[in-house]
Chain A
Amino acid sequence: MSRLAITPRNRFSIMDFGPYLLLASLEGLVTAAILALTALGLSLVFGVMRVVNVAHGEFFMLGAMLTWAFTSLFLGYPVLGFALAMIGSPLIVGIIALVAERLVLRRLHYDPEATIVATIGMLYIIQQLALSFYGPEARAVIAPVTFRIQFPWFGYAGYKLLVVGISIFLLLATWFVITHTRVGLMMRATQYDRETAQAFSIPVDRVYAGVFAAGAMLAAIAAVLIVPIQQAHYLMGLDPLLLSFIVVIIGGLGSLKGTMLAALFIGMSDGMISVFFSPTLAKILATLLVALVLVYRPQGLFGEVSR
């Protein structure tokens, strides 16, 4: 997602290699953290509902656009605007997802193939509306904190480390909700066997709605965090979508632990591979890898064989 700011000139000089590796891993960590949040949303929706949400990247884009909208409301107070965006953007995106779920996905009875086509339709609708309302310009957002952490070789934006921290917190919180609360139990029961869950009076219908909204909100939060580093743009959704696909598939469809591991693996290697190969070649290899994983190891590289 983010590219390294190192010039090719000093790329392979031995003197710089250590600090360079440190910088690359820091950048990789930021990418991995954002990717983990985004992919977790996709993975949750697929795991519980068996729905492949192609519009997931657009929820990410909406989160970023709304962050820009919130912060530009409070131009003099970046912290206030950003704090508001942290709460407001995911909330609005969640409501939009909820409406989409009620209006479209439920009527399709969550049929896997029909929902893919429907979410492609949603992708176009959201993208076009974002273009019409916000225009084609890339929108920058100022980071709420500006302190820098000084390493012996270079200074590093403290905000990026904050992003990693917040992401880890959110991932742990999601994991806690899924494994240790009543809501999480309902989700897991629904995922395991929809009919039996219904027979045990679990409101499967509402679980589905909640999971779809939660998945979209995770993407939106990831976008809020990344906007000060990247920029908000109406086409920005495609990259996180494809990367999330890659992560979710390599991690094993529907396996949360696998998704986390794969996000770390892909996020960390994304930056490094792009240094040694051309970024396009890196992307080609990654997409081919994913296709072959799906063909030969549908349970993913890190996933267990399904029941």
Chain B
Amino acid sequence: MIGRTESTRVVGLHGAILTALFLLQFILPAYHHGMLTRIMVLATYAIGYNILFGYTGLLSLGHAMFFAAGLYGAGLTVYHLAWPVLLGFVSGVLSGFILAVMIGFLALRTVGVAFMIVTMMFAQAFYLLTLYYADYTRGDEGFVLTQNMRRLALGEWTFNLADPIIRYNAALLLLSICLIACLLLVHSSRGRVLVAIRENEERATMLGYNTFANKLMAMLMSGMMCAAAGAAYGLLFGYVGSTFASIHYSISPLLWVLLGGAATTLGPLLGTLCMFYLVDISSGYTSAYLLFVGLILVLLIVCFPKGILGTIRERRLTWLP
């Protein structure tokens, strides 16, 4: 399928980037150190989104519900039931899985514009539910996970997830796992079926593939990754609130993936990185950062629908996964 030199290049590139991220923590000043931690967790969210949007061609406008399912699945159990951190994380991912099964069976009956609106409506209902059960979630205000709740006990060691160094490496670990999982998926035969569905679903059906099962698998993987990112976000940064379920957080991963390059493994990371620093730099001059978000969305979709890495792959590095 792919040549030996190509796969060496791909492994080398991804390894180099993960190593660079690992080494960066020793030289970055505290501010950028914290920012990169956040970027890595949210890039994981974007990678999960990209599996469904980039590779399978299903544009969801409601992925904030998976992120929030992870966030609340972890946050509520740790906060109200005093579950240990690791169990809380598992419960977050599991919540994402269950939600993805339900949404998958319903929403995957539709395609195109209807799929976009259905996912948006389900996410809106999820958001309103977090407001409705304000007794537990404290709604918009949210609740804070104290440092005591965020101690990860592994055998004899205890890690304090509020510690910046541990937080950075936990985020890096999550990102690495999801990035490698995405890379493996893309290079597997299943990943190729997903792309085939994206390019022409009827043809994929004619070739004998069960397109529904494959799309559902992509939805589950995407939902679980986004939930894992949400759970990690809550546990690492200690805040759980319903803003993370709002429509704005559904649009963000779309923006990041479009910017970095849809259907590229590294695009989500690059897009999140660029967007965060763009907003950070522009907020030094103006408070109107939403204007930039809007302008970039419009410019991207009109002029560069393939994003940064997508354009690079088209022009030069055709081996980029």
Contact = CB atoms under 8 A, between A and B. Distances in A.
Interface of A: 50, 52, 104, 107-108, 112-114, 116-118, 120-129, 131-132, 242, 245, 249, 278, 280-281, 283-284, 287-288, 290-292, 294-296, 298
A206 B201 CA distance: 33
Interface of B: 59, 61, 106-107, 109-110, 112-114, 116-118, 121-122, 124-125, 128-129, 131-132, 251, 254, 258, 288, 290-291, 293-298, 301-302, 305
Given A128-B290, A132-B288, A292-B106, A117 B258 contact: yes
Contacts of A113: 59, 112-113, 116
Contact of A122 (B106, B114, B258, B294): B294
A123 B251 CA distance: 12
A288 B113 contact: no
Given A121-B295, A121-B298, A125-B290, 17 more contacts: A113-B112, A114-B305, A116-B59, A127-B290, A128-B288, A129-B291, A132-B291, A245-B121, A284-B129, A287-B128, A290-B121, A291-B106, A292-B106, A294-B110, A294-B118, A295-B118, A296-B109
A287 B125 contact: yes
Nearest to A46: B113
A112 B112 contact: yes
Nearest to B113: A112
A128 B131 CA distance: 25
A104 to B, nearest CB: 6
A125 B305 contact: no
Contacts of B132: 278, 280-281, 284
Contact of B291 (A124, A291, A298): A124
Nearest to B132: A280
A46 to B, nearest CB: 9
B298 A295 contact: no
Given A52-B116, A284-B128, A294-B121, A122 B298 contact: yes
A245 B121 CA distance: 9
A121 B301 CA distance: 9
Nearest to A281: B132
B89 to A, nearest CB: 28
B291 A287 contact: no
